């Protein structure tokens, strides 16, 4: 009877889950690195400016606090001018609205220098709006960006697992034992005469490495050993059992199970009676 293997469910499911987990973790790292961390940095910078300007506006005109606040606003304007401005979008104090932020800074500068009550009231309203949005944001630590690389580097492993899945799926279609006993594997093709033995020493063994207990090794007349792995390839046990029963009929059944002692004794009795 001919047998052909397929990729076992336990193997392809585990492989695809690992691939998906690696890709998701990697994309999560990219998102944090490119979007979340820069937003937190921007929010924390703005919060510092707003808190200092808010405190300065509550002091008298020409105070040291107003002078320091004015210097900070100038520096913030220079920094913001280097960022892509684009079209205003959302609220004036929203993150991402660089044009709105620059307009707010210019208003703060005027309020700090002039002491005009109306300008100061407008500035305080904007400051409250900004502090409500990101006044409590914790600045990213110096380890946040390096940590994201640990996640980003999962992406290549995700593609590796997809590659493994594709390779093993192709290999699964290759393993075949035909009616004449010819064994076809990714390593080559061997006729029944060329296969001289099968090593079952680790097959369903009760001790040692558990993963190895899913494997048997066909031995060819040129000294090669062909690993037959039932963990990865479904129905491989039928190929293993067919070869094992051929070489050791008193030890192994055609489905790669050990022959029970009771069955052996029954067979021996039948032979003696005949």
Instruction: Output the pLDDT for position 261.
Output: 57
Domain ranges of the chain: 8-147, 174-273
Provide the pLDDT for residue 271. Answer: 44
- Give one DSSP letter per residue of 79-114, joined into a string: HHHTS---S--SSTTSTT-HHHHHHHHHHHHHHHHH
If you write DSSP's letter for every residue of 63-82 in order, what string do you get? -HHHHHHHHHHHHHHHHHHT
Are the beta carbons of 123 and 106 closer than 8 angstroms?
no
Q: So what's the pLDDT on residue 262?
A: 47
Please tell me the predicted confidence (pLDDT) of residue 88.
Answer: 61
Q: What is the pLDDT of residue 62?
A: 84
In degrees to the nearest 10, what's the CA dihedral of 25, 28, 34, 39?
Answer: -140
239 contacts 3 by C-beta, under 8 angstroms: yes
- pTM (2 decimals)? 0.75
Q: What is the pLDDT of residues 62-90, one digit of tens each?
A: 899 999 999 999 999 998 888 776 666 67
Spans of the chain below 70 pLDDT: 85-89, 261-274
pLDDT score at 86: 60
């Amino acid at each position: 009877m001919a047998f052909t293997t397929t990729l076992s469910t336990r193997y392809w499911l585990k492989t695809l889950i690992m691939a998906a987990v690696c890709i998701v973790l990697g994309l999560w790292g990219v998102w944090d690195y490119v979007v979340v961390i820069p937003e937190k940095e921007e929010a924390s910078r703005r919060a510092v400016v707003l808190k200092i300007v808010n405190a300065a506006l509550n002091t008298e005109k020409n105070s040291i606090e107003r002078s320091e606040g004015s210097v900070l606003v100038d520096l913030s304007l220079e920094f913001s001018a280097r960022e892509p401005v684009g079209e205003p979008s959302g609220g004036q104090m929203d993150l991402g609205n660089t044009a709105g932020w620059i307009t707010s800074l210019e208003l703060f500068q005027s309020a700090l220098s002039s002491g005009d009550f109306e300008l100061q009231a407008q500035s305080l309203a904007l400051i409250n709006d900004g502090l409500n949005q990101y006044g409590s944001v914790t600045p990213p630590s110096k380890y946040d960006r390096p940590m994201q690389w640990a996640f980003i580097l999962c992406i290549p492993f995700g593609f590796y697992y997809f590659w493994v899945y594709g390779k093993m799926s192709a290999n699964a279609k290759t393993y075949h034992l035909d009616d004449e006993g010819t064994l076809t594997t990714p390593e080559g093709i061997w006729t029944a005469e060329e296969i001289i033995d099968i090593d079952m020493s680790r097959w369903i063994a009760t001790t040692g490495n558990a993963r190895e207990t899913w494997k048997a090794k066909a031995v060819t007349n040129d000294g090669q050993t062909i690993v037959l792995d039932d963990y990865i390839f479904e129905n491989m046990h039928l190929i293993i059992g067919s070869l094992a029963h051929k070489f050791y009929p008193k030890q192994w059944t055609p489905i790669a199970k050990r022959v029970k002692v009771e069955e052996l004794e029954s067979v021996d009795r039948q032979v003696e009676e005949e």
